[in-house]
Amino acid sequence: MADWAPILREQLAVLLAEVCEEGFAPPLYCTFLDANGSNVYGRYEEIGGGLTFTVITSHMVAEDFTLPMHILLVDHTGEAAHVTLDENVEPSAPPSAVWN
């Protein structure tokens, strides 16, 4: 099984940069949902020139996330992007976002 942490870290940095370039504006609301039903929901806010994540709620089925994992980002105007991460994603490859 692929280690989800480096894949998420690399892909999320690229995804956040991409959505900001597309016009998304903070606060950004984000849900991470894995194949087992574990999830984290939180908010990215612009603080000190960067984005800071605050966990609002979470539910972990296991001690750790598993792949595949879905990420849904929504900005305050309702714009949304969805990305699926799985074992076949290279950490440095750009994410393949689906836009609303």
Strands laid side by side in the 98-99 sheet:
50-59, 39-47, 28-34, 69-75, 80-85, 98-99
CA 42/CA 73 separation, integer angstroms: 10
Q: Residue 11 pLDDT > 70, yes or no?
A: yes
Looking at residue 17, the DSSP 8-state letter turns out to be H
* Residue 58 or 63, more confident: 58
What is residue 60's predicted lDDT score, i.e. its pLDDT? Answer: 93
CA dist list (Å): 94 to 26, 37, 62, 86:
21, 25, 28, 13
Give the tens place of pLDDT for each residue, 21-56: 989 999 999 999 998 999 999 999 999 888 999 999
Specify the pLDDT at position 1: 45
Give the residue numbers spanning the domain of 24.
Answer: 4-99
pTM: 0.83
Higher pLDDT, 95 or 46: 46
CA distances from 25 to 29, 45, 63 (A): 10, 9, 32
- The count of domains in the chain is 1
Model confidence pLDDT, tens digit, residues 67-93: 888 999 999 899 999 988 877 766 556
